[in-house]
Amino acid sequence: MKLWALVKKEARDILGNRIFLLVVVVQLLIILGTFGLALSTALVNDPAVLDSYGVNSAIKVGLSEDLNQSTLVDDLEAQKLQIEYFNTTQEAKRLLGTDLAAVISISSEGEIQVEFDTSNVFYPVASTKVSKAVDTFQLRKNLQSRELSEEQIKVIQEPVKLRIINLKEEEAVKIALDSPYFVEVMYGFIVPFILLLPFFMASNLVTDSIVGEKERKTFEVLLMSPLPSSMVVIGKIIPILTFSLLQSLAWILLLDLLQVPIFNTLLLLLILFSVGLGFIGVGILISVLVDSTKEANSAITLILVFTTFILFVPLFIKSGMFQVLFSFIPTVLMVKIASSPVVNPEVVVYLLPTILISILIFLGTVRSFRHERAIRL
Amino acid sequence: MNFMTIARWEFKNTIKSRKFLVIFFLQIAALFLFVMVFNSLAENLESNEALSITPSLSGFANVDVDDQGGLFTRHLNSEVLTLKNSSYQQARNRLERGLTVGYYTVPPESVTLIQDGDQVETILYLDYRDPKRSVVREEVNSTTKTLSTALTTSYLESYRPRNITKQPGVTETTSGESVPLQLIRKVMLSVLLFLPLFLFGNLIIDSVVGEKERKTVEMLRALPLTSADIIIGKSLAVVMVMALQVAMWMIIILGAGFQLKNALMVYVIVFLTTIPLVGLTTIIATYSKNYKEAGIGLTFAYIFISGLLILPLLGYIINQSTLANLSPMTMVMRLSSGETIVMGEILLSLTFIVIISLISYGTSITLFQRDKVIFGPRPSIIRLTMELMGLNKDKKTRSHKRRIRN
C-alpha cells in the first residue's frame, strides 16, 4: 500500500506537470508531420499514386518542334505527361531541372535522345513514365519493320503476362496510400520511431524524478520512509513506464485512425515494455552517477544519440555479415510484427535477448541504487 | 572591456571542467558514428543507383512461389521478400492462415514456352488483408517487367530479317545530382557542421541559470559591471568554445574524406551563426528559473531554430529561391559544394545574423536588468513580450509616471 501511495504521488506529479503535457502535444505534431512527409514523398516517387491523384501537371517534358507529329507524343500523353514544344533543344535544356523534368529530341540519325536532370523532385516518376513511352514507341517502330503474325506480335509485346488475383478483398485492411514506397517508409521506419518516442522521453522523466529529489533535498526524507530503497525506485518508475506505454498505445490508435493499421498490439507492447525497462534502467544509472539535472540532461542526450544509432541504423543498412545480428534489434522486430496480421512464432525467439538484456539492465541499476554511496545526498 | 574579464573566467572554468571534457570527446565519438552512417548511405545510394532513401527491409514480406523452372524466382528481390517454394494447395492454405502475403505461380513448362517463343502466363494471388500487398505487387511487377524487356529484345533480334538494318536506338543522359543524394551529401554535411552549435546550449544555461540556482547572481549583480558586460562576457566564452568545437569537427569531416570547398568561408559563416544562437539561448537562460525549465525551453527553441535553418535549405534544393539564402545553413551548403555565390546573397545572410544577434542580446540584457525576472516573481512571457514591445508598461512605471504628472 505504501508503494501504491508513492506511485499515485508520482503519477499526480507527472500529470500535473505542464511540460509533460506539452511534450505529448509535440509528439502528436511529430507524428502528423512524419505521416504527411511519408505521404508527400510517396506521391513524388510512385507513378501510380501520382496518376490516381491527378497531379501530373507538375511533370513537364520538353520536346523539340520536329517531334510534334510523331506518334511518340501519343505515347507520352498516354503516360499522362505534360508536353511543351520548343524551337530548339538548347532552349528546352535551359529549363531542364527547374520547369522541365526531361527533354526529348531526335538526332539527325533518327536516334531518340532523352535528357533528365536528376535534381528535379519528380525525376523518379518522370524517368519511369518517359522510359515506358519511349519503349512503346520504339517497339511499335520495330514491329512495323518486320513481317510478323498477330500471334508473334502479341508475344513480343507481352512475353510474360502477369495476372493478379486479389484475395479476401472484402476483409481488406484500409491503408492511407496503397503504395509500396508509403508502406515501406511507414512500417520500415516511421512506426517504430513513433512508438518509441514516449520511451525516449521516459528516461528524462526518470532522471528528473530522482535527481530532482536530490536537488530539492527531499530524497533523504523519501528514503527515511518505511519502504526499501528498491521499492522507492520501483514506485517512481511504475507511473513513468505506464504513461509511456499508454502514450504508445494512443499513437497506435492514432495510426489506425490515419489508416496505417498496426497489428499484434500486445506483442508490440511487450517489446516496448522491455525497451522501456532498459531505457529507464539507464535513466536510473545516470541519476545515481550525477549530481544535478544539468549533468543528467547532458548524459541522457548522449546516451540517446548512441541508442538511436543502435536502434535505427540497422533499419537502413543491408549487411550480409550482420544481418542475423540485426534480426535481434527491437526496431527490426517491430517492423515485422507491426506490419504482419499473423506473426511467425520464431519472432519470439528473436525477442528473448531484448527482454533478457532489459531485465538485466533494470535489475543491475536497481541494485546499484540500493548501494549507500549511490544515494548519497 | 569588462566583459572580457567575465569571458576569460567562464572560458577557463569550462575548459578546466572534467565533465565538459568528457562530453566534448563523447560528442566527437558521436560525430564519427554520424560520418560513418552518412558515408555508408551515400555509397549505398551511388552503388545501387537508388533514387530514394527507404529502409532496407530485409525479409519484409513472405511470398510463396511455384516456379519449377526457377527463372522467375531468380529475378525476385530476395532481400525484401522471403521466398518459399510451395505447391498450390500448400500456398492457398498458408494464404488462408495469413502466413504469406502472396503466392506467385509460374507454369512448370515456362522455360520450354520461352524457348518456343510462346507467352508465359503467370499468376499472383495477393492477400488483401495484409498492408504489404503493394510491396509484393511492386516486386513481382518489377520482375515481370525485367524478364519481359529481356525477352522482347531477344525475340525481336531473332525475328530480324537479314535485309533490315538495326533501328536507331535511344540514348538517355542524366545531369545533376538526385534529391536523395543531395540530401545526404549537401544537407547532411551542413547539418553536421551546425550540430556542435546545438550541443553546447547547456553551457550558457549553466553559466546563467547556474548563478541563479547557486544564489550567486546577487553577488554578480552587485559587481561594478553592467548587465551588458555580464551577458556579453558569458556569451563570448560559449562562442569561443563553440568556435573550437566547430574547427575540430571540420578537421574530422575533412579527414573522413568529405568534400568541403571554401572551407575557411564555411567556417566563418558557421562561427558567425553561433553568435545569434548563443544570444537566443541566453534569453531562455535569463528568463528560466531553474535547469529543468531551461532544459525544456532550450529543447523547444532548438527544434524551432533547426526548422528555421533547415527548411529554407530544403526550399533551395527544390526551387533555388533567393530568400532561402537568409538561412546561414543554405549559404554553408552552397559554399561547401562549390556553388558560385554573389555578394548580395552573402550580405542577405549576414544581415539576418546581425539583426537576430542585436535583438537577442538586446532582449537578454534588458531581461537581466529586471529584478523581477532574476529574483521573481517573474512576469508571464506574454506580459513580458508586450512590455518589451512597449505595448503594456509595467504597473510600477505607470504609477510612477502618474505620480510625476500629478
Q: Which cell is B180 given?
A: 536523395
Residues of chain A with C-beta less than 8 angstroms from the C-beta of B160: 146
Domains annotated on chain B, with CATH? 2-42+178-375 (no CATH), 61-158 (3.40.1710.10)
Looking at the complex, report in whole angstroms how far the Cα of residue A161 sits from the nearest Cα belonging to chain B. 5
- A106: Cβ contacts below 8 Å, ≥ 6 apart: A64, A66, A67, A70, A112, A113
In the predicted model, what is the mean pLDDT of chain B?
Answer: 83
A180 CB within 8 Å of a chain B CB: yes
Q: Would you say residue A189 has pLDDT above 50?
A: yes
A84 CB within 8 Å of a chain B CB: no
Amino acid letter, residue B207: S
Q: What is the pLDDT of residues A72-112, one digit of tens each?
A: 888 888 888 888 888 888 888 888 877 888 898 888 777 88
Domains annotated on chain A, with CATH? 2-42+176-370 (no CATH), 55-145 (3.40.190.10)
CA torsion angle A293 A295 A299 A301 (round to 10): 60
Looking at the complex, report in whole angstroms how far the Cα of residue A65 sits from the nearest Cα belonging to chain B. 18
Closest CA relative to residue A3, chosen from A206, A222, A253 = A222
The whole-angstrom separation of Cα B285 and Cα B217 is 13
Cell 507529329 sits at which residue? A69
Residues 292-351, chain A: which have Cβ within 8 Å of B? Answer: 292-295, 297-298, 301-302, 305-306, 309, 313, 315-318, 323, 326-327, 332, 335-336, 339-342, 344
Instruction: Please give the residue that has the higher pLDDT: either A255 or A376.
Output: A255
Cβ(A124)–Cβ(B85) under 8 Å? Answer: no
Residues of chain B with C-beta less than 8 angstroms from the C-beta of A208: 292
Q: How confident is the model at residue B49 (pLDDT cuts 50, 70, 90)?
A: very low
Complex ipTM: 0.85
Residues of chain A with C-beta less than 8 angstroms from the C-beta of B173: 113-116
Q: SS3 for B60-95, per residue?
A: CEEEEEECCCCHHHHHCCCCCEEEEECCHHHHHHHH
The whole-angstrom separation of Cα A26 and Cα A204 is 15
Angle subtended at Cα A340 by Cα A339 and Cα A344, rounded to the nearest 5 degrees: 135
A169, exposed or middle or buried, with CB in 10 Å at 0-12, 13-18, 19+?
Answer: exposed
Q: How confident is the model at residue B402 (pLDDT cuts 50, 70, 90)?
A: low
Q: A179–B55: do the CB atoms touch at under 8 Å?
A: no
Helix (H, G, I), strand (E, B) or coil at B261: coil
- A210: Cβ contacts below 8 Å, ≥ 6 apart: A219, A233, A236, A283, A284, A287, A288
Looking at the complex, report in whole angstroms how far the Cα of residue A92 sits from the nearest Cα belonging to chain B. 14
Of A98, A181, A297, the CB nearest to B295: A297
Residues 106-145, chain A: which have Cβ within 8 Å of B? Answer: 107, 109-121, 123-124, 127, 131, 134-135, 138-139, 141-142, 145
Closest CA relative to residue A313, chosen from A199, A192, A200 = A192
Query: Which of A158-162, A230-234, A302-306, B53-57 is modeled with the greatest confidence?
Result: A158-162
Q: Which cell is B3 given?
A: 566583459
For A227, phi and psi rounded to 5 degrees? Answer: -135, 135
Cell 571554401 sits at which residue? B262
The whole-angstrom separation of Cα A20 and Cα A210 is 16
Q: Would you say residue A175 has pLDDT above 90?
A: yes
Q: How confident is the model at residue A265 (pLDDT cuts 50, 70, 90)?
A: very high
Residues of chain A with C-beta less than 8 angstroms from the C-beta of B88: none
Residue B223: count of CB within 10 angstroms of its CB: 12
Give residue A245's pLDDT. Answer: 95
Classify the C-alpha dihedral B239-B243-B248-B252 as positive or negative.
positive
Q: In the sheet that B170-175 helps form, which strands lie side by side, from edge to edge?
A: A82-86, A60-64, A102-106, A112-117, B170-175
Classify the C-alpha dihedral B22-B25-B31-B37 as positive or negative.
negative
Instruction: Please give the residue that has the higher pLDDT: either B18 or B312.
Output: B312
The whole-angstrom separation of Cα B158 and Cα A110 is 23
Per cent of chain B over pLDDT 90 is: 30
Q: SS3 for B165-182, per residue?
A: CCCCCEEEEEECCCHHHH
Q: B155–A341: do the CB atoms touch at under 8 Å?
A: no
